[in-house]
Structure 1
Amino acid sequence: MRLRIRLAKVGLARFLSHLDLQRTVERGLRRAGLPLAFTQGFNPHPRISYASALATGTSSEGEFLDVDLTEPVDPGDFVSRANAHLPEGVRVLEARPAPEAGDSLMASINAAAYRLTVTGAEEAALRSAAAAFLAAGEVVVTREGRSGPKAVNIRPQVYELTVTGPGELRALVQTGSEGNLKPEEVWAGLVALSPDLSGAELTQVHRLMLYRRDPGTGACAEPWRL
């Protein structure tokens, strides 16, 4: 049996690296006595696959992973047993049976929604910058690569950008194997377009959800039945 899990990483747990999060989840599920399926070989480990790595310092309520089990477990029971053995800030929010066919979870995901919290910016300045961003033909930022810094046009990787309140924006951006845009780059693009934001600061990034986005229609589906 395979369960698809939605996980939250909040509070101080947001400072866990992706590798630390993997270890934390594995230890919690093992301590819960759940019937985890293991890989074969000299160093067996639970068969758990993640949709997308989350940057250290970024909180989330939309992390997805698939967990293979050797016997059926009621999804609600899985949630309660897992949370009893996971540390504060790491919580299983929901579990459902995973699809039996189709692409892997990682291969299915190509978009992510983020909430960006900003200090030191007037709401009017944020709205003006977001409108300028969406209207721009290109938004160029500097990205550090293996061969050094390079200029990158990030505009095609930003699908939605809205101001949702004072000091708060929501961004839907590309993620996954075909391209991965960091929320910090969205903020850098906004600052580049608006001198009014030069003294403002991006203070928190929170991932709201992962999606499979249809490139033709722009429709987004949550990962439950992909």
Structure 2
Amino acid sequence: MSTDLQIWQLVLHASLLVKGVMALLLLASIASWMIIFNKRQILARAQSAADAFEEKFWSGTDLGKLHENISGAHRVTNGMERIFEAGFSEFDRLRHQGRMSPSAMVEGAQRAMRIALTRETEDLEHRLNFLATVGSTSPYIGLFGTVWGIMTSFQALANVNQATIAMVAPGISEALVATAMGLFAAIPAVIGFNRFSNQVDRLEVRYDNFKEELSSILERYAHGIGQE
């Protein structure tokens, strides 16, 4: 309790600029933790959805029926479902136009799936740049508050004939709290950014592999149609 009380006293007795730095770092830390918890849930759901869709896709279900079930549900798709729906819808549209070569139908489906994959990756990466910014800048912002606080403490000794460590220690302690808060905001943000970036990269590779597999299936199907 005494330690907590001393820290609060140091914060309250800090200069106005140092208080502003501390408030900024506190807000950045709160925002980072909100993004971390939210992104953790989003990526966990994306992983589970990918597992469930792959199991359904490779179960031998007819792709036309699978597409009808997804498009007929009238809901927003994401992940592999989003890529599959985009590719198969474009392939089906081009197939019904007639006079389209098999390669043209496959290329159209691939183009639609690339766009869907890009949008899906952008959704997964959303707000990760904020974590990177907090992780890289918070220590320097805290250091700025510390330097300013130390400068203020030493300037207060300008008119003192005999300076002692006891006279500057409180001011330096107040300033060092800003550095501690900078590290407190930066460390979770850096850990969260690295972990989530790795998960997004693995999901992106998984989506890209699925796109290539679906392209191969559609290519075989398109050539089968052309031979009929």
TM-score (norm 2): 0.22
Pick the structure with greater CA Rg.
2
Name whichever structure is richer in helix by fraction. 2
Q: Could you say which structure has the greater relative contact order, defined with CA pairs below 8 angstroms and 6 or more residues apart? A: 2
Name whichever structure is richer in strand by fraction. 1
